[in-house]
Each structure stands twice: as structure tokens, then as C-alpha cells.
Homo-oligomer: A and B are copies of this chain.
């Protein structure tokens, strides 16, 4: 087999065999195939696409390139959740404790990446002493004891995906459905949960801008998960405005705590309930949506979910006093109020641009080795369709660099589009994709 022929075959629009896909993935990881041949193949895939079969084989090949995590020592139906990424997405810190409090083992291993704010791991690490680097033994033991663990991926999960993704990132070959789906799913499937829910974001602050594209990606990912023998479903959710009100690491931890106490923003709470209900159904904990919702609401009301977060923090070595009294979490030196220059209703808040502002304040990573400023970020005081008066506060900036904060202040005023009401923008979930069907809401 020759890599040249594999490139040519895909370039000419033909389907690669399982053996050809295995050959290129294996030999790329072991250094026998150079970057420049793989980037040519990736660009050919960008243009000629991959069939469903090729995509599934690519995913399997990437899973096989590294270690997998065996969860069979954990009793029950283990569930996992993945978000395709948005702005102010604090869901995992709410959803995990909620379903774990309902008796469903929630297992989550995350990677770290670039982003407007840190990922779930970074948010957790903004809590004093909390460890996300667990040994497999610790991870399994925690889930067995308290039904939840959130930790970083072991180093050798899907090395092929890491290597291929790095190359896609610098060769303009990220935007391909098969490559995106196989990258996400290989990482998920390498960790042996029984059921997976995918929160596929769509809108200005998401990778997918159109519902149609989000549906396509969802179907591709569900197909891959199903073919691998895992229950997989995808919920398509709104990312036109930021989710919740907090954008930034400790700010989002505080928001998660508030939500688990029943005082969170409506959209964040509602999406957590929607996702949670699906997870309880997948885990066969309940028989209907209604039953699931009641169980989850009960876990909030009884403080069981909030207590589960405390247990999670405690079992991973974190300072639970910071959860019990969030005022103890790191705080920014400056809080700046951003005032409205106009009167009217908030028509839109471009999530992507809000994310860029948070990044500018230091809340996220531009490069893989960037240091995150945990306390920096933005709290929205107004969301879409809220009434705003002149000089009323639109948002609070939390910053440690006053110069950057001043720049961001002006930008934020511009991002809040004030005018008429915009009903359609408030939809929380657009649809659901399961192995059998697509539902649009």
C-alpha cells in the first residue's frame, strides 16, 4: 500500500477501504507517513468528502491508535456528555451533579483546547487545590462511590486525532463534517460510557452557524456512536446569545452553584433539564420525559444536586468552602459596569463577539500554552428581549487589566443590539437526533 495512491484515490472521488484508512492513520501516528502527504489527503477529503462508512472506519482507526478506558468495573448504565462548544457553556458542572444525584453514573473525561473561556477542566481548576488529573483507579473509584468524576483525558487517548487535528488546524481542513464528527466521536468512544448525549450548538457563537449543518453533524455523530454499539443522541441547542449570564471561569462556577441551588438563569437551567431528562431516559432511570423532569427538579429542590457538586469537589481534592461560600473564589480587581446608550429591547447579543471580549480580558486561551485568568470575564445583566433604559447596565466586566477592560467596554456597547423584540431568538432547543429519527421543535 502506498500513501500516494490513497491520496490520489480520494482526490479522484473514490471511496477508501477500511485497510487504506487504517494504513494511513497507523503510519501517520508512527511517523512513517509525513505531514505533507496527510495534509494533501485532508484537503482532498475536504473537497470530495467521506462516505458514512469511511467516516466510521476513520473514527475506529483513531480510537485504535491509542488507549481506551474500560468502565466495566462501574455498575449501571454510565452516561457521558459532550458539547460542540459555545460561549458561557457551564452545562457540565450543572448536568453532571444533577444526573449523578438521580443515581446515574456520570463519567466525563475532557481535553483542553483553545477557546474564549477555559473548558470544564479549567473551570474546575479555578477552585483551590482541585485535581483534574486522576489516575484511572481514582476515576473509577470516585464514580463507584459518588456517581461522578470529571477529569482530564489520559495522555494516550486517540493520539491519531491529536496529530491529525493539529495538522487540520494549520491547513484549513477543519471544516469537514466527517473529520469533525470522527474527531469528536473518537475521543468520546475511547472512553467506555454506555450512552452519550451530544449538545450540538448552533448560532453565531457556535462552530455551526445553521441548524441544517448542525443536524448534518449530529446525524453523522449519532451514526458513528451507534455503529460502535453506544446509545448516542444529539440535542441541537441555541448559541446565538451566550448561555446563561456568566462568561469566564470562576464566574461560571458561581453560576453553576447558583443554578444547582435553583437560582440560575432560565436558559441555562432549562437546557440542563432537557439534557438531563434525556440522560435519565438513556440510563433507563425513568420511563418518560415527564418523570425525568420531575426527578431532576426534585434533585434541585432537595439540594441533592448541589450537594453532589460539593462531593465532586471534595473527592477531587478541591476546597469545598469555596463552593459553600462562592465569595471565596478568586475575584477580579476591577468590575466595570457597561451602560446602555439607547433605550429599547435587546435584539441580539452576538455570542461569538462576546466570546472574543472574554478572551481579550484573559478568560480563555489564544495559544495552547496561554495562562488563563480565572477571575476575568463578563456577566450579562441583560439578555435578548430584555427591556433596557438609557444608562442602564448591560453587563459587568470582571478584569485585572484595566486598559483591556476599557477597550472591551466600548466593544460591548456595540455588541448589544438595542431595538425591537426578537422572539425567535429565544428558542433553547431546535431539535433532537437519535439513531432512528430527527425531531424538530
Residues of chain A whose beta carbon lies under 8 Å from any beta carbon of chain B: 4, 7-8, 11, 34-40, 42-44, 46-47, 167, 170-173
Min CB distance, A437 to chain B, in Å? 34
Min CB distance, A6 to chain B, in Å? 9
Assess the B8–A40 pair: CB atoms within 8 A. no
Min CB distance, A403 to chain B, in Å? 26
Which of B8, B46, B170 sits near A37, CB closer than 8 Å? B170
Bound together, the chains give a CA A39 to CA B40 distance in angstroms of 5
Bound together, the chains give a CA A35 to CA B171 distance in angstroms of 11
Oligomer copy total: 2
Residues of the B chain whose Cβ atoms lie less than 8 Å from the Cβ of A8: 172
Known interface pairs A11-B172, A36-B36, A40-B173; 5 further A-B residue pairs with C-beta atoms within 8 A, sorted by A's residue number: A4-B170, A11-B46, A35-B35, A36-B170, A44-B172
With A35-B34, A35-B35 as given contacts, are A172 and B40 in contact (CB-CB < 8 Å)? yes
Interface of A is mostly: helix
Bound together, the chains give a CA A35 to CA B43 distance in angstroms of 14
Interchain residue pairs with CB less than 8 A apart (6): A35-B36, A36-B170, A37-B170, A37-B171, A43-B43, A43-B44
With A35-B34, A35-B35, A46-B11 as given contacts, are A40 and B171 in contact (CB-CB < 8 Å)? yes
Bound together, the chains give a CA A44 to CA B47 distance in angstroms of 8
Bound together, the chains give a CA A225 to CA B39 distance in angstroms of 32
Residues of the B chain whose Cβ atoms lie less than 8 Å from the Cβ of A11: 43, 46, 172
Bound together, the chains give a CA A178 to CA B172 distance in angstroms of 22
Residues of the B chain whose Cβ atoms lie less than 8 Å from the Cβ of A171: 4, 7, 36-37, 40
Residues of the B chain whose Cβ atoms lie less than 8 Å from the Cβ of A38: 36
Residues of the B chain whose Cβ atoms lie less than 8 Å from the Cβ of A4: 170-172
Residues of the B chain whose Cβ atoms lie less than 8 Å from the Cβ of A39: 36-37, 39-40, 43
Bound together, the chains give a CA A39 to CA B173 distance in angstroms of 12
Residues of the B chain whose Cβ atoms lie less than 8 Å from the Cβ of A44: 43, 47, 172
Min CB distance, A242 to chain B, in Å? 27
Of A34, A38, A43, the most chain B CB neighbours within 10 A belong to A43
Of A8, A37, A39, A40, the most chain B CB neighbours within 10 A belong to A40
Bound together, the chains give a CA A36 to CA B172 distance in angstroms of 11
Min CB distance, A198 to chain B, in Å? 27
Considering the complex of A and B, which 7 residue pairs feature the smallest CB-CB distances, nearest first? A43-B43, A40-B171, A35-B36, A8-B172, A36-B39, A7-B172, A39-B40
Chain B residue with minimal CB distance to A6?
B172
Min CB distance, A10 to chain B, in Å? 9
Bound together, the chains give a CA A46 to CA B34 distance in angstroms of 20
Min CB distance, A244 to chain B, in Å? 32
